[in-house]
Structure formats: structure tokens, C-alpha cells
Structure 1
Amino acid sequence: MNATWLLSTYGTFGILLCIFAETGLPVFGFFLPGDTLLVPAGLLCSSPARSGPHLTLLPVLLCAAVGTITGAQLGFWTGRRAGRATLARLENPRLHAGVRRAELLLVRYGHARAVALGRFIPVVRTVLNPVAGALGVPLRTFTLWQMIGGLAWSQSLILGSCWLGNSVRHPDAYGRCPRTLT
């Protein structure tokens, strides 16, 4: 899935759907471009970016926030309801490796820090939510820390790339080959 195509076709709604699916649907979510979608979205919010769709910053921030929070809650409830039985039936080695990493993160750092820090690790971001539900992480702890981690992850990527896009002069010129080499 190409982030540029997704943003030009679906705009901010595509951000909401993609981030929701990445954080809430563990079987399909790790195929989706979370980080690689939020960075171009932030760049497209910057004022100098003119070669493609232009996005408005506030709706992008809101859609990313809603997608990441609601997706994580869905993943948690999926893990709480279906739990280990579903994971045992799936034979995807990449998914099982992500589950092992998520479990180690929960044990090593404790529930609060693991849930918040797990948002910054690509495959763990997808599988940590249902694993937390399956392992019985308290709902209040999970909700608070997934909101803090999810907002820190999504908003920092968007705002950082928007700032970068506004800081670079003539960003459309980068990536083009010069006509002559001197």
C-alpha cells in the first residue's frame, strides 16, 4: 500500500482508516503504513508543499488521534474476548514474533510504560493491544497509557514532519535530478 496514493485518494479519512486498522486489526494491521503514512501527511500539511494534495493540519491531527485511540481500544477488546485461542490458530511467523516482542515488553517495562512505548515499535504497535487484552492488563491502565503513547506517536510524527516541510525551502526541488552537473 502506497502512502502517497492513499493520501491523494482518501485524504484525511484515509489516515483515520489506515491508523485505525493498523492499531486495531492485528491480523491485517501490520501490512499497513502507519509511520510511513503520518510523515507524508505532515509534509502535505506544510505550506511550501505544492506538488500534490495539500492537507489541513487540524483534521489530519484529529483523524490520526481518533484512529490510533479507537483502533487500540478495539485491539484490546479483541484480545480480551478472543485472546490466546485466536493467536494459537494463526500460523503467521511475523505475527508470532511480534506477539513475543509485545509480551516481553509488557513483562520488562510494566503495563503502563510498555503500552506507551510499544506505540513507537512498528509490529509491536499492532499486536500489543490484543496481547494486553489477552494478558489481562487492567482496562483503566491500558486506556490511559495507550492514549498517551498513541497521541505522542501520531502527533509527534505529523507535527515534526509538518515543521520539517515548513523549514525546508523549495521542498519540491528535492528529489529531482539536476540538468547539468557542475
Structure 2
Amino acid sequence: MTLELRCQCGQLQGRVDLARAQARAICYCRDCQAFARFLGQPGLLDAAGGTEILAMAPDGVHIDAGGEHLACMSMSPRGLLRWYAACCRTPLANTSRDPGLYYTGLVAACVHARPGELDAALGPADRLVANTGSATRPVKSAPLRFLVGGVRIFLPAILARLRGRRAAAPFFDAAGQPVREPQVVSREQREALQRG
């Protein structure tokens, strides 16, 4: 099943191949919350401060138009690369700085699906929750589900690394470099964004 990937203003468009998705999750980490604040997108977070993520193989994400609007930031010099559409500051994805980690955390806010479509394909988002200690209100953690979900997400990434697969387009070039230079926020900016 293929779904539309689109920023809020529609200038950046693409496709998401759900057959390449491993899991659907909600992340409550302070950096995901800070990313939403950096973008000026507080509505991205759920009532407890979580961001819905589709854990995917990188080759399941395609940008077909508006790639010039692709931008990248990071919360620290070694932190995740956080991708967004600069035209309207729509969050797109999180990737490792290492293209050898064959994984993309696609932010569900940029995926356009009919009601129930993601549930049918990947199950409810709240089945797998991460970093619940940073939630802004109590969230029930499920350690066994988290363990099973982690295996579903990282086993394919480990197998891809053993096979020598590397992440490429749309976030990395053929040489394994990010297609955009990441804007790294200062420690003070990160702390201010985390405080909200």
C-alpha cells in the first residue's frame, strides 16, 4: 500500500510504501517535543507530548516534488538528523547520522491517510510507546510490547547493515552524506526548546 507524503502547504510531495514499514509508535522523548517547538508546530504533539512515528526502511520514503524545500536540523553535534519541509516547517523524518543504520523514523503528520488506514496496516499507534518518562502526563508503558516492537524495528536494520545496505535518497546522497547540512542548535537553544 502506498500513501501520499505531503507537507502542510503542498510544495513538498512524495510517497510512502507501507510495505517497508516495520512498526507504528509514539515517542515521548524531550528531543521530539523540542523538535515540534523548533518548528512552531505544537499541534504535532499529542495530549501527553508524544509524536507519532512510522518506523521504516529508508527505501520506503520517496520525495517526488519540492525536494528543494527539504531541510535538516539536529539537537546536538552527534544527535539524530531531524528532517522537515522548510517551506511550511512540516516535520518529515528522523534519521541517524550514520547512513549504515538502515532506518527512518517517518513523522506521521506528513503522511496523508484515510481514517483507519494506518490502523489497518500497522495497528494502533499507542500499542508501542517509547520514552514515557518524558511524557507531559501519565502514559502507560508496555515493556513487553516495546521489546517486541524494538525487535521488529531493529532486526531489519541489523540485517541490512550485515548486507552492506546504506540509507540513500531522499535524505542521503550516494556518498552517504546528508543531502542538506544540518543546522545544529546550541546547548542553550536545546535546553530552552526542551523546557517549552
Tell me whether the two structures share a fold, i.e. TM-score over 0.5.
no
TM range (shorter): under 0.3
**Larger fraction in strand:** 2
Q: TM-score, structure 1 length as denominator?
A: 0.26
Greater helix content: 1
For normalisation by structure 2, the TM-score amounts to 0.24
Q: Find the structure with the greater CA-based Rg.
A: 1
